[in-house]
Amino acid sequence: MENETDNKMSFFSAIENFAKKNKRKILIIFILIISCLLAVIFFNYYQENQNKKISEQYIKAGIYLTQNKREKSKDIYKDIIYKKNKFYSYLSLNNIIENKMIKNNDEILELFEVLENIDKDREQQNLVKLKKALFLMEISKKDEAMLIFDSIISSNSIWKEIAMQFSRTK
């Protein structure tokens, strides 16, 4: 019993000695941990704030569209796409295409490339490719669309069946 108490005391004294000898290192490590936590909190706050601003822009573009201010709406949608927001960029391009806001097909294909360069999972990438292929079919660039359909089919994507249906309608 007394031996256990001595062991506990020697353990605590060893920790105390270690803390005294390495006070500076412990303080630096503590400051680094606090700094990292603050950086993560600030980054999350910043990201959330940016998402709110982009969502407000998206809503504003929709309002402009309903007011037939198509040019203002288009500019805002394009700005959102170039900001590479993982959610609103896709919606913005869909609105541009659905409402035929851009007549130049090369400009729309450039916007698709911006979306393709957004960091996302494989299935989202394949969905963007599928939409691009459908757009290429619509503007009579069937050979390019077929190449994209083939890449989706060969990747065993969840979009494989849809790509196969469109590649058969060649």
Mean pLDDT on 54-64 = 95
For the stretch 11-36, pLDDT in tens is: 778 788 887 888 888 889 999 999 99
Q: Report pLDDT for 44.
A: 93
For the stretch 101-119, pLDDT in tens is: 999 889 999 999 999 888 7
Model's pTM, two decimal places? 0.74
| Domain map (residue ranges) of the chain | 2-107, 120-170
Quick one: three-class SS letters along the chain?
CHHHHHHHHHHHHHHHHHHHHCHHHHHHHHHHHHHHHHHHHHHHHHHHHHHHHHHHHHHHHHHHHHCCCHHHHHHHHHHHHHCCCCCHHHHHHHHHHHCCCCCCHHHHHHHHHHHHCCCCCHHHHHHHHHHHHHHHHHCCCHHHHHHHHHHHHHCCCCCHHHHHHHHHCC
